[in-house]
Amino acid sequence: MSAERGNDPARLIQEIASGNRDAFERFYDRYASLVYALALRILHVRSDAQDLVQEVLLQVWRQAGSYSPERGSPEAWLLTITRSRAIDKHRSVRRIERGLPATGDPSRLEGGGKLESGTTQSDARLTLHGALQKMPEAQRTVLELAYFEGLTQSEIAARLGEPLGTVKTRIRAALQRLRELTGAKAPEGPS
Amino acid sequence: MNHDQWLERAEMYALGALDVEEATQFEAHLASRCGLCEDHLRETREALTLVPRSLTPVDPPPAVKARLLAQIAGEAAPVIPVRPRPQWRWWGMSAGAFAAAGLLITLGWTLVTTRQEVQTLEGRVAGLQAELSKREVPLALYTAVINLLRDPSTRDVALRGVEPGAGAAGRFLWNESGEGHIFVANLPPATEGKAYVVWTIAPGKPPRSAGVIQTDASGSGGLHIYPGRSDHPVQVFAVTLEPSGDVSAPTGPTVLVSK
């Protein structure tokens, strides 16, 4: 087996499913920084994001056997798990914060829009580049609200004070742009 | 609804932007095995990977990896289903094939005998390995609990049962190094497919899952929590009944909570 084949993500997942801890470590080395960046972007709190990395990768270890290549790439599988767990956790924190008196915990943000104090310089470089950077701001805003904050299209419309139809159009345009970048063809409906 | 509208919903569904009712309708449509929508959903999910890819990657601290590797070292390897070996279908063989098979059996008798011996030995080795692993795990566990009890900073917290686990009780040994051990008794059997999840809760922080506790027929069980990060002192310990062991926040009823 070549080294390249040995690091193929789908192959790694297959090996993880058979209990190969070395494959799991390679998978971690390959994806942990991506998972952590996404967790930080959604949760804003470093310690929570670190917990999330651990939870997500533990799920990969335990459920690698349930991964199906027919349903998407390993990266899409991993990021879907990460985003879903991060948004659940974020909502849970918000619920707890609403139900508890202020604790004065300096690491917890009031508004949730910035990283906690003490964030390292590298953490603060959670700037967007690539695909999103070149996207029109109105499209990028709705995409970010949905992807990073877990808002539905109705919630986005309410948040922005825009008509629902406008929000839908912007989201579709943003997704179309992403699909073009990945080379996906426009869907053809049945005749 | 025409199919273009379903495709539009597939995109919104991939993004998680559908309202609950629309999402439910779309899931019902997907359940009808609509290949177009399945393909479009998959392609949209792939396209959406560009969003987190637009963030600058950030390496988590090395301690995260160390904790994770320590955690999986304490777990059995994931179980994957093993396909049964194909069985010989003797009834499908022709007379000529029977003759050939008979000749092969005669000529290969010694080889077969040797193979049987090897298989017998393999079976004995596997049995011994299984027996050894059964003994190793409790020994390591007992040692870990004893070390926990030896540490004067370890707290011993009583847990009381709460409906639906009103008759249950438990103890939580907890050290702020993030290591602990929970004992439970008289928990009702978890409903099929559900799991008892252990939580540690620090003030102002989201509950942290410490893992799934397995119980025997009498409702007794234990779970060792291996050392992990603990920036905030834990004040509350709880066990909830969850739809699965992989929930990231408690959603089900609490059955045990610290007094």
CATH number at residue A6: 1.10.1740.10
CB contact under 8 A, A21 and B46: no
CB contact under 8 A, B204 and A103: yes
CB contact under 8 A, A178 and B59: no
Question: Looking at residues A17-39, what average pLDDT do you find?
Answer: 95
B121 assigned to some structural domain: yes
Domain that holds residue B123: 115-150
**Domain tally, chain A:** 2
* Prediction pTM value: 0.57
Tell me the per-residue pLDDT of A127-169, one tens digit each, with 9 for 90 and over.
Answer: 556 677 778 999 999 999 999 999 999 999 999 999 999 999 9
* pLDDT(B14) > 90: yes
**Domain tally, chain B:** 3
Provide the shortest C-alpha distance from residue A22 to chain B (in Å).
Answer: 10
Provide the shortest C-alpha distance from residue A170 to chain B (in Å).
Answer: 11
Beta bridge pairs of residue B55? A128
Tell me the per-residue pLDDT of B142-184, one tens digit each, with 9 for 90 and over.
Answer: 667 777 777 777 888 889 988 888 888 888 988 877 888 898 8
Are the CB atoms for B257 and B236 separated by under 8 Å? yes
A184 assigned to some structural domain: yes
Are A53 and A97 in the same domain?
A: yes
- pLDDT grade, residue B221 (50/70/90)? confident
Nearest chain A alpha carbon to B205: A93
| Cβ contacts of B104 within 8 Å, gap of 6 or more | none
CB contact under 8 A, B51 and A143: yes
A143 assigned to some structural domain: yes
Of residues A180 and B10, which shows the higher confidence score? Answer: B10
Beta bridge pairs of residue B159? B170, B258
Q: Compare CB distances from B3 to A37, A80, A190 and report the shortest one's residue.
A: A190
Range in B122-131, B149-158, B204-213, B247-256 the model is least confident about? B122-131
Q: Compare CB distances from B47 to A48, A148, A178 and report the shortest one's residue.
A: A178
Which residue carries 């003994």 as its tokens? Answer: B135
* pLDDT(A22) > 50: yes
Are B131 and B199 in the same domain?
A: no
B131 assigned to some structural domain: yes
Of residues B248 and A40, which shows the higher confidence score? Answer: A40
Residue B211 phi/psi, 5-degree rounding, is: 125, 180
Range in B20-24, B50-54, B217-221 the model is least confident about? B217-221
Interface with B, mutate which of A94, A96, A127, A180 (most B CBs under 10 A): A96
Contact residues, chain B, for A109 at CB < 8 Å: none
A98 assigned to some structural domain: yes
A121 assigned to some structural domain: no
CATH number at residue A144: 1.10.10.10
Are B191 and B206 in the same domain?
A: yes
In chain A, positions 42-71, which contact chain B (CB-CB < 8 Å)?
47-55, 57-59, 61-65, 71
CB contact under 8 A, A96 and B204: yes
* pLDDT(B107) > 90: no
Helices A164-182 + B3-15 axis angle, to 10: 80
Question: Looking at residues A94-108, what average pLDDT do you find?
Answer: 49
Query: What proportion of chain A, given as a percentage, has pLDDT over 70?
Result: 72
Are B216 and B236 in the same domain?
A: yes
Are B169 and B231 in the same domain?
A: yes
Are the CB atoms for A89 and A48 separated by under 8 Å? yes
Are B169 and B245 in the same domain?
A: yes
State the average pLDDT for chain A: 80
CA B39 and chain centroid, separation: 29
- pLDDT grade, residue B116 (50/70/90)? low
A183: left (phi over 0), alpha (psi -120 to 50) or beta: left
Nearest chain A alpha carbon to B55: A128
Q: How far apart are the first and last CA of chain A?
A: 46
Which of residues B133, B150, B167 is at a domain's end?
B150
Of residues B137 and B202, which shows the higher confidence score? Answer: B202
B226 assigned to some structural domain: yes
Residue B79 parent element (H or E): none
Are A100 and A143 in the same domain?
A: no
Domain that holds residue A148: 128-191
Are A54 and A137 in the same domain?
A: no
Sign of CA dihedral A120, A124, A126, A130: negative
Query: What proportion of chain B, given as a percentage, has pLDDT over 90?
Result: 16
A123 assigned to some structural domain: no
Are B143 and B183 in the same domain?
A: no
Are B135 and B178 in the same domain?
A: no
CA A120 and chain centroid, separation: 20
ipTM of the complex, rounded to two decimals? 0.81
Which tokens go with A97?
């914060």
pLDDT score of B105: 56
